[in-house]
Amino acid sequence: MEAGSRQLLTDCKKWREIYEIRIFMSCSVQLYGSTAYGYPFSMPLIDTHCHLNFNAYKDDLDAVIKRTLDAGMRVINVGSQSSTSKRAVELAQQHPGKLFAAVALHPLHLFETYVNEVEIPFKTREEVFDPKFYGDLAKEPGVVAIGECGLDYFRVPEGVDVETLAKKQKDTFLQQIYLAQEHNLPLILHVRASKEDPQGAYLDLLEVLQHANYTRGVVHCYTGDLDTARKFLDAGCMLSFTGIITFPNAKDLLEVVKFVPLDRVMVETDAPYLAPQPVRGQRNEPLYVQYVAQKIAEVRGLQVSDVEEQTTANAVAFFNLGIY
Ligand SMILES: [Zn+2]
């Protein structure tokens, strides 16, 4: 392990001691009233995928960042198009070593389409991938990955046939794999399959990665089946889980959570979306990644602190955060 990584993990252990004291204090405080966050921490986590760079935080971004950093957490803000990628880089540079950035063009932004997300509906603008623009961003300090990029067959824009959609997405994805390779960065992979073929998009994405001979990626918000998970693990990819694993209908997915070796797992919120069960329906934020770690611990019969320690170490190594 590099010296920087070791330092970051030592810092995390220090935080853990502080938070163990806080747990004691919060238990005492609970006798008299509620605690600041409603649950105690045992160790700071790294939210490896969220979007504090999105408009959902425009009114209280400073407060959200403050409570995240006060908890000792670190965060990777992920871009989805040119504007949000740029914003992620700005945030990383305002909070060096604490907030990090990933930059890329999300497959949803290749066509103009209305996205009816349960929590926050939005309309996407059409953008053409500009390798020069994203290449310049990739060189900026604080950029630790190319992402999120990949394939999304779930939403087919009106007037576009599925083949055209898939071809354009695969071409754009391939260009971004080459960008990651060129800058020696890992990939944050977005996959959303169609209802009719729940593994199809995953298998297509894996094929593109293998075609490019670059599988240094994390499949963000993994919701595929066990067999597909095995294929990604065999290819050398990491899998990352969101609050979806806390939902009551996540039974099959929990089989995957149980199966994946813990040193191949990362945790994330995908905030502002996908708030975990205890806070479901609210705007999500990095602090709530704790509920994802708790669920992993529960289904695997581990201590939460073991999951926290290992997923943090995984994220530090995978994104090379120790150099900051
Ligand atoms: Zn995302």
Average pLDDT for 12-35: 41
CATH number, residue 205: 3.20.20.140
Q: Is the pLDDT of residue 10 over 90?
A: no
Dist. CA 226 → ligand 1 center (Å): 22
Q: Considering its fold, how many domains does the chain have in total?
A: 1
208 part of a folded domain: yes
Dist. CA 50 → ligand 1 center (Å): 6
For residue range 155-182, list pLDDT tens digits in order: 888 888 999 999 999 999 999 999 999 9
For residue range 255-280, list pLDDT tens digits in order: 999 999 999 999 999 999 999 999 99
Q: What gap in Å lies between CA 53 and CA 185, rounded to an integer?
A: 20
Average pLDDT for 184-204: 97
The pTM of this model reads: 0.87
Dist. CA 51 → ligand 1 center (Å): 7
pLDDT category at 38 given cuts 50, 70, 90 is: very low
Dist. CA 120 → ligand 1 center (Å): 13
Mean pLDDT computed over every residue of the chain: 88
28 part of a folded domain: no
Parallel, antiparallel, or unpaired for β 99-103 and 113-115? unpaired
For residue range 49-99, list pLDDT tens digits in order: 999 999 999 999 999 999 999 999 999 999 999 999 999 999 999 999 999
Share of the chain above pLDDT 70, in %: 83
Dist. CA 17 → ligand 1 center (Å): 31
Q: Is the pLDDT of residue 147 over 90?
A: yes
Dist. CA 148 → ligand 1 center (Å): 7
For residue range 283-311, list pLDDT tens digits in order: 999 999 999 999 999 999 999 999 999 99
178 part of a folded domain: yes
Dist. CA 190 → ligand 1 center (Å): 7
Q: Which residue has the tokens 């919701």?
A: 223
Q: Is the pLDDT of residue 209 over 90?
A: yes
pLDDT category at 17 given cuts 50, 70, 90 is: low
For residue range 215-244, list pLDDT tens digits in order: 999 999 999 999 999 999 999 999 999 999
211, 261 Cβ separation under 8 angstroms:
no
Dist. CA 94 → ligand 1 center (Å): 21
Dist. CA 211 → ligand 1 center (Å): 24
Dist. CA 160 → ligand 1 center (Å): 23
What is the sign, positive or negative, of the torsion defined by CA atoms of 66, 118, 121, 269?
positive
- Burial (CB < 10 A; 0-12, 13-18, 19+), residue 241, is buried
289, 267 Cβ separation under 8 angstroms:
yes
Q: What gap in Å lies between CA 148 and CA 112, rounded to an integer?
A: 18
11 part of a folded domain: no
91 part of a folded domain: yes
* pLDDT at residue 322, rounded to an integer: 81
289 part of a folded domain: yes
Q: Is the pLDDT of residue 24 over 90?
A: no
* pLDDT at residue 120, rounded to an integer: 58
Dist. CA 273 → ligand 1 center (Å): 8
Dist. CA 188 → ligand 1 center (Å): 9
Dist. CA 26 → ligand 1 center (Å): 32
Q: Tell me the three-class secondary structure of the chain, residue by residue.
A: CCHHHHHHHHHHHHHHHHHHHHHHHHHHHHCCCCCCCCCCCCCCCEEEEECCCCHHHCCCHHHHHHHHHHCCCEEEEECCCHHHHHHHHHHHHHCCCCEEEEECCCHHHHCCEEECCCCCCEEECCCCCCHHHHHHHHCCCCEEEEEEEEEECCCCCCCCCHHHHHHHHHHHHHHHHHHHHHCCCCEEEEEECCCCCCCHHHHHHHHHHHHCCCCCEEECCCCCCHHHHHHHHHCCCEEEECHHHHCCCCHHHHHHHHHCCHHHEEECCCCCCCCCHHHCCCCCCHHHHHHHHHHHHHHHCCCHHHHHHHHHHHHHHHCCHHHC
For residue range 107-141, list pLDDT tens digits in order: 999 987 766 655 556 666 789 999 999 999 999 99
* pLDDT at residue 324, rounded to an integer: 62
* pLDDT at residue 118, rounded to an integer: 52
Dist. CA 49 → ligand 1 center (Å): 6
Expressed as residue numbers, the domain containing 100 is: 44-323
Dist. CA 84 → ligand 1 center (Å): 11
> Which amino acid does the sequence have at 48?
T
Residue that wins the pLDDT comparison between 99 and 27: 99
294 part of a folded domain: yes
64 part of a folded domain: yes
